[in-house]
Structure 1
Amino acid sequence: AYDHQNYQLEELLDNISFKRDVSRNPLFDVIFNLNNIEYEADLKLNGMEIKHLNLESDLSRVDLSLTGFENNSEIYLKLVYSTNLFKQETIKRAMEDLITILTKVAEDSEIVLNEIQLFNADEEDYILKEKNEMNDLRNAEFSF
């Protein structure tokens, strides 16, 4: 890796037989970023004044981007997503599930993630019913 650390991504993509979709990021589709550094409002250093500039945007550069901001011992989450790929209801449900997971982990740091129940009984019944209906359709014989 050190011998080839200066090899440019663009050159690599040009040299392999890979049709690149320029509307998509070539390395990853999802980003998680936790900003746990508290910034001073303004800093003065040797006669210079440094001000914090918020460069955050609601424009999605990747399919899904989750950013956490720590402030006064609380973490605020911001999710930016591609509306071409995800429905608002899907993202809302994903955030509810994430909050459920984080709450359970905060209550019990020894919990195993696959033990966390994300669905209530009604939701689980609905999902199982949908799954069974799909299986019935797959197994049904159709004659025309």
Structure 2
Amino acid sequence: MHHIISDGVSVNILMKDLSRLYEGNEPDPLSVQYKDYAVWQQSDIQKRNIKSQEAYWLDQFRDDIPVLDIPADYERPAVRDYEGESFEFVIPEHLKQGLSQMEENTGATLYMILLAAYTILLSKYSGQEDIVVGTPSAGRNHLDVESVVGMFVNTLVIRNQPAGRKTFDAYLNEVKENMLNAYKNQDYPLEELIQHLHLSKDPSRNPLFDTMFVLQNLDHAELTLDSLQLKPYQFHHPVAKFDLTLSIQADQDNYQGLFEYSKKLFKKSRIEALSNDYLHILSAILEQPSILIEHIGLSGSYEEQENMLDSIQLNF
């Protein structure tokens, strides 16, 4: 199902409705339909709400907007190319437990901690201390729309400064504050923000940001209906909408990470190194939350691998 008509929550709603129908029951009646939500979106009240949020987002990007420049393995094409690949990795159980403990100790959510670590990773690779990342928001802010099938998601553009002189715990507080403010203003459409910023067009890049961070914590239920069983079908999706997207699937059993990346920019070996470095950063901040960001190192796995390949080629 295309995002033009549905979001991730919609899939679970459809599966639950299908199970009720299969068992001879009717789905729960809805108080509103998506068409009612669409009408509300265009109402004068909501337009005033959107206008009041506009000032917050324009203030976030009043200064020069940084362009993320992480090392690539290939020269960037003059025009964006969407050929992509993905790389999966697992966040080990001891890190999962450490993240839960950090949530409890700091009052930050799992999302905030993982995002903070990701921006540090991007800062380490790029040498930049002003990082812009796109992230989706569910957009289901009212009880009446929780069971409605439709597209409610908006993309938020989050700007953080993981400066080396900051301690991680202080930086996490900044990320927490930024996210809370972003959530308060999450109805403002990304398209309008891009339009109002009057960005210079660069056909080789996405407007405003080139990387996304996504935390998926929806329970994708496996339903058993008498002799019929339904479960998600995993399929290969060779497309990358951005240079780099980090998605974390968090459930009770494990935390699964996935990097979706542009094949025109990166080798698989670099993305594997990125995942190792991300885990390395998580380990460092969990072991010592007050560590200075400039003291957080990287695993060096990519350089070691490339040096080994160079050595093999020289021997031949």
User: Scaled by the length of structure 1, what TM-score is found?
Assistant: 0.57
Q: Structure 2 vs 1, CA of residues 8 and 78 (structure 1 numbering), >3 Å: closer, same or farther?
A: closer
Q: For residue 7 of structure 2, what is the aligned residue in structure 1?
A: none
Whether the 8 Å contact between 1:32 and 1:67 is mirrored in structure 2 is: yes
Residue 33 (structure 1) aligned with residue 82 (structure 2) = no
| Letter in structure 2 aligned against 1:33 | V
The corresponding residue for 1:106 is 286
Structure 1: how far apart are the matches of 2:280 and 2:219? 26
Aligned-residue offset at 1:105: 2.0
**Which structure shows the higher helix fraction?**
2
Q: Which residue identity does 2:206 align to in structure 1?
A: N
Change (3 A) 1:33 1:56: farther
Partner of 1:64: 244
Cα distance change of structure 1 residues 56 and 36 upon mapping to structure 2, 3 Å threshold: farther
Matched residue count = 114
Question: For the aligned residues, what is the CA RMSD?
Answer: 3.9
Provide the rounded CA distance (Å) in 1 between the counterparts of 2:287 and 2:253: 17
Q: Which structure carries more relative contact order (alpha carbon 8 Å, separation 6+)? A: 2
- Relative distance call for 1:106 and 1:27 in structure 2 (3 A) is same
Aligned-pair distance for 1:88? 2.1
- Cα distance in 1 for partners of 2:295, 2:245 equals 26
Partners of 1:67 and 1:79 within 8 A in 2: yes
How high is the sequence identity, in percent, across the aligned residues? 27
Q: Does the CA-based 8 Å contact 1:65-1:80 persist in structure 2?
A: yes
Distance 2:221 2:210 in 1: 32
1:86 Cα deviation after fit: 1.5
Which residue type is aligned with residue 39 of structure 1?
H
How far residue 92 of structure 1 moved from its aligned partner, in angstroms, is 1.9
Counterpart in the other structure of 1:2: 51
User: Rg larger in 1 or in 2?
Assistant: 1
Distance 1:104 1:58, change over 3 A: farther
1:75 has 2:258 as partner: no
Alignment partner for residue 265 of structure 2, among 85, 90, 111?
85
CA positional deviation for 1:99: 1.1
Q: Distance in 2 between matches of 1:86 and 1:75?
A: 24
Maintained 8 Å contact 1:42/1:52:
no
